[in-house]
Amino acid sequence: MENFVFEYPTKVYFGKGAVKSYLSSELKKYGETVMLAYGGGSVKRNGVYSEVLSVLGECGKKVVEFSGIMPNPTYAKVQEGAALAREYNVGLILAVGGGSVIDCCKIVALQANFSGDVWEEEIEKHSFPAAAPIPLGAIVTVSGTGSEMNGGGVITNEDKKIKTGLFAAAPRFSILDPEYTMSVPFPQVMSGTFDTLSHAMETYFGYPNEDNVSDDIGEAVMRSVIRNMRVLLKDRNNYTARSNLMWDSAMAENGVLKIGKKTDFEVHMMEHQLGAYTDCNHGMGLAVLHPVYYRHIVREGLPKFVRFAKNVWEIPAEGKTDVQLALAGIDALAAFIKECGLPSHLTELKMKDSPEKLLTDRALEEIAYSTTILPGSYKRMTGSEIYEIFKECM
Amino acid sequence: MENFVFEYPTKVYFGKGAVKSYLSSELKKYGETVMLAYGGGSVKRNGVYSEVLSVLGECGKKVVEFSGIMPNPTYAKVQEGAALAREYNVGLILAVGGGSVIDCCKIVALQANFSGDVWEEEIEKHSFPAAAPIPLGAIVTVSGTGSEMNGGGVITNEDKKIKTGLFAAAPRFSILDPEYTMSVPFPQVMSGTFDTLSHAMETYFGYPNEDNVSDDIGEAVMRSVIRNMRVLLKDRNNYTARSNLMWDSAMAENGVLKIGKKTDFEVHMMEHQLGAYTDCNHGMGLAVLHPVYYRHIVREGLPKFVRFAKNVWEIPAEGKTDVQLALAGIDALAAFIKECGLPSHLTELKMKDSPEKLLTDRALEEIAYSTTILPGSYKRMTGSEIYEIFKECM
């Protein structure tokens, strides 16, 4: 894919060398103090940190560092960042990393300017904090979450044992250089990319079922992800595949696929609780859950699963009943997960805590409750069916 | 498709009843005088005019009318609108109609605030006018041009005999109610919709040829357009089909399909000159030109034409050479054009002037020149090849 500049809710600068070409023009729009936010230090090893710091220096910015943002970022980390942003009267937060860093910074940006507590306001009072967030820019080093073009941030509240989406503002701009993704460990590239496929599927497998061009576009994104993940299996640093996958990540979760749709997102809700209890890798948790969950809802969503088998996996319909064809599509997804080196069982994953801990009434009710706010699902999940799904995932 | 609200460069309000639901909230953002712009009066017959006027009244707006915007809007009409907008110090231009009305108003909005001449600045000096356009909102009654979500306006300069794209700002908001399209004469619905298909094809058949998710999304939009045009042939007022086609129109020309692409747009360039000389209906001129032009470039763009035959028209590859398969795809396009009641020859069209008048050196050179600014084309057109194409179209 060629380099491009494209305006959306977020202005996207995409392509090789985009930080050098565009960051300084964006920095000029904001105040003199920039909060440079990143994760565990990989941005220092791969050179991105020094590249960004050098542009910040050339633009005469004062830099406040906010580092150590973890995968599955915690609400405590959000509060730490918000306090720092307030203390230094930050004019721009620059999130350098993947979805965890960007998600965390979105909520930091809102919490810093909100006198109340964001979690309490959004999750408990079901209200939106009356505050204008600090402007946010993102420099993406690993893609998949789609955080680069939307306003959601997934945060883990360790005290409450809940991992869920909070909402703030989308980044004002995001810089996406596919070359940056080449320094990311390969299993993380594949698990991040599976998150993209998951987003497209979560939206596709949901009501309404009437003819909708968004479903056609969803199939296009899914086929692109599958084809380009297969390219990476043979040629890890193929730039064309890396760039397609980076743009697929943004397209899968920037709202285009959701137009006219209600969406499912049940697998994300289950994985979020898994993450809250075990600190499980997000994409790997999704990879385990998707085929198992889909076998539970295949009859309720039969026409869409038939279409998925034919249009995404190109499985011939001849000689198969609709149920056989639908199940063959789910089997193709499960086989692809294995082909990509992603897990099929939770026991294959290294986790901080046993997933068995999740199988409590409270955790299951939390997930079952989430269904009530997701009106697009083909089948309303009960706590006991979620229990069965997790048992089958072990 | 369900109703939706979606922010892009343009904020789109889409669905049944969207004017009543959303227009007043947008009007509050702008000054007290609104220029209400429309075409030949069809908006008065179908009730849209009175619906919009009633909301303007409720919001206490002063209304300046700018009417009589013709298909293939002229540069003289742009100047008339700009003078009116300046005289009344208009705070918002509200374009109610299809692509011609919206295109004209975009350039009015820019010309009103620019002390020089927009045509001279953009077309002759290749510079962009240094002026902030008056804010523009669009209420779409017939779709296809995609003008509702981009900054381009196609204007005919009658003195110079040139019809070409000028650039201003995209509408701040566009209201798309698929029910409005039901009062449009059916041949105009089909020709407008063919413009959507044309936009997707013009972008698809262009360099680079490397794997690009934008081409996958282009195929998705093309398949949606074809499928839903076929629904309308049997059931003209099918809301699902009308709504898909209305969103396809926006998606085909809002920039998403062009990401990472250089695009061709040669057929549009030829049709523009045809329109300048004959006042030909845009969509119908495109319908005549596309298959003829594609048979001229099929060998240069062979892999993409093969893909088009397989993925858009679902033609089996077995037993065919690549050239046979590619030509079968173009034949399928030509057959679809007939199926939709669209013309295959220019002689089928009612035109103000004979298309033979176009076959002058000057007109052909004008089109051949346009190729030099369209670097995505598979084959550089010469004046004599354009002459041949037009002769074959007669």
Q: What is the pLDDT of residues A259-268, one digit of tens each?
A: 888 888 999 9
- Which pLDDT value is given to residue A220? 98
Say yes or no to pLDDT of A189 above 90: yes
Show the CA angle centred on residue B369, arms to residues B367 and B374, nearest 5°.
Answer: 95
Please state, in angstroms and as integers, the Cα–Cα distance from residue A280 to each residue in A70, A136, A271, A358, following that order: 12, 27, 8, 12
**A259 in contact with B at a CB cutoff of 8 Å?**
yes
- Confidence at residue B273, expressed as pLDDT on a 0 to 100 scale: 84
8 Å CB contact of A227 and B211: yes
Region label for B243, one of left (φ > 0), alpha (ψ between -120 and 50) or beta (otherwise) = alpha
Q: Is the pLDDT assigned to residue B344 strictly greater than 50?
A: yes
Domain with CATH 1.20.1090.10 in chain B: 185-393
**Residue B107 phi/psi, 5° resolution?**
-80, -30
Q: Determine the pLDDT at residue B373.
A: 63
pLDDT tier, A117 (very low <50, low <70, confident <90, very high otherwise): very high
Q: How confident is the model at residue A76 (pLDDT cuts 50, 70, 90)?
A: very high
pLDDT of residue B367: 73
Reported as half-sphere exposure (CB side, CA atoms, 13 A), residue B140 has a value of 31
Hey, what are A375's tokens?
Answer: 């009106």
pLDDT confidence bin for B321, thresholds 50/70/90: very high
Q: Which residue has the tokens 């004979």?
A: B354
Q: What is the pLDDT of residue A1?
A: 28
Of A8, A212, A251, the CB nearest to B213: A251
What is the least distance, in Å, from the CA of A226 to any CA of chain B? 11
Query: Which of A225, A230, A259 to mutate to probe the B interface, most B CBs <10 Å?
Result: A259
Given A9, A213, A231, which is nearest B221 (Cβ)? Answer: A213
Mean pLDDT of chain B, nearest integer? 92
Average pLDDT over residues A301-307: 97
Mean pLDDT of B284-306: 97
Name which residue leads in pLDDT, A365 or A91.
A91
A7 — pLDDT class (breaks 50, 70, 90): very low
Cβ pair A224:B243 closer than 8 A? no
Chain-centroid distance, C-alpha B359: 24
* Residues of chain A found within 8 Å of residue B169, distances taken between Cβ atoms: none
- pLDDT of amino acid A79: 98
Provide the phi-psi class of A146: left if phi over 0, else alpha when psi is between -120 and 50, else beta.
left
For the residues A206-235, what does the mean pLDDT come to?
96
- Say which residue the tokens 């899968």 belong to: A252
pLDDT band at residue B354 using 50, 70 and 90 as cut-offs: confident
Query: pLDDT confidence of B332, banded at 50, 70, 90?
Result: very high
B59-82 confidence digits (pLDDT tens): 999 999 999 999 999 999 999 999
Per DSSP, the residues of B296-352 read HHTTTTHHHHHHHHHHTT----TT--HHHHHHHHHHHHHHHHHHTT--SSGGGS--S
Question: Among B6, B228, B260, whose Cβ lies nearest the Cβ of A1?
Answer: B260
Reading the block at residue B374, the tokens are 């369209």
Residue B104, pLDDT above cutoff 80:
yes
- The whole-angstrom distance between B156's CA and the closest CA on chain A is 28
Compute the residue count for chain A.
394
Q: Model confidence over A325-344: pLDDT tens digits?
A: 999 999 999 999 999 999 99
pLDDT value of residue B368: 72
B221 and chain A: CB distance < 8 Å anywhere? Answer: yes
Looking at domain B4-179, which of 3.40.50.1970, 3.40.50.360, 3.20.20.80, 3.40.50.2300 is its CATH number?
3.40.50.1970
Instruction: State how far the Cα of A145 lies from the Cα of B109, in Å rounded to an integer.
Output: 39
Q: pLDDT by residue (tens digit) across A284-296?
A: 999 999 999 999 9
Asked if residue B2 has pLDDT above 80, the reply is no
Residue B6 has a pLDDT of: 39
A-interface mutation test, from B3, B212, B213, B245, most A Cβ less than 10 A away: B213
User: Tens digit of pLDDT for each residue in A360-393?
Assistant: 777 777 777 766 666 788 998 888 888 899 999 9
Do the bridges between strand B33-37 and strand B62-66 make them parallel or antiparallel, or are there none, so unpaired? parallel
- Tell me the pLDDT tens digit for each residue of B6-23: 346 788 999 999 999 999
CA A135 – CA A119 distance, rounded (Å) = 20
Instruction: Tell me which fold the domain A185-393 belongs to.
Output: Dehydroquinate synthase-like, alpha domain (1.20.1090)
Instruction: Give the pLDDT band (50/70/90) at residue B355.
Output: confident
Asked if the Cβ–Cβ distance from B244 to A211 is below 8 Å, we say: yes
Chains A & B: contacts with CB separation below 8 Å: 92
How far does the CA of residue A256 sit from the closest CA of chain B (Å)?
9
For chain B, where do the domains classified as CATH 3.40.50.1970 start and end? 4-179
Contacts of B1 in chain A (CB under 8 A): 210, 212-214, 259-260
Do the chains contact at B2 and A262, CB–CB below 8 Å? yes
Q: A100, A70 in Cβ contact below 8 A?
A: yes
Interface test with B, best of A8, A212, A213, A246 (most B CBs within 10 A): A213
Q: Decide if A221 and B216 are in contact by the 8 Å CB cutoff.
A: yes
A227 in B contact zone (CB under 8 Å): yes
A223 Cβ under 8 Å from any chain B Cβ: yes
* pTM over cut 0.90: yes
Give me the mean pLDDT over the A19-42 stretch.
94
| Mean pLDDT along residues A34-52 | 93
Which one has a higher pLDDT value, A209 or B110? B110
B224–A213: do the CB atoms touch at under 8 Å? yes
pLDDT above 90 covers a percentage of chain A that reads 76
Q: What is the DSSP letter of A74?
A: B
Confidence label for B121 from pLDDT (cuts 50, 70 and 90): very high
Query: What is the distance in angstroms between the Cα of B85 and the nearest Cα belonging to chain A?
Result: 28
Percent of chain B surpassing pLDDT 90:
77
Contact list, A214 vs chain B (CB under 8 Å):
1
- Is the separation of the CB atoms in A155 and A115 below 8 Å? no
Between residues B40 and A294, which one has the greater pLDDT? A294
Structure tokens at B292: 């003829």
CB nearest A213 (choices: B9, B208, B244)? B244
**Whether B216 and A224 lie within 8 Å, measured CB to CB:** yes
Q: Compute CA A267 distance to the chain's CA centroid, rounded to the nearest angstrom.
A: 12
Which of A216, A224, A243, A256 is the mutation pick for testing B, counting most B CBs within 10 A?
Answer: A216
What integer best gives the mean pLDDT of chain A?
Answer: 92
- A211:B228 CB<8 A: yes
Tell whether the model's pLDDT for residue B356 goes beyond 80: no
* Among candidates B4, B213, B244 on the partner chain, residue whose Cβ is nearest the Cβ of A247: B213
Backbone angles phi, psi at A47, to 5 degrees: 90, -10
Cα A103 to Cα A152: distance, rounded to the nearest angstrom: 7
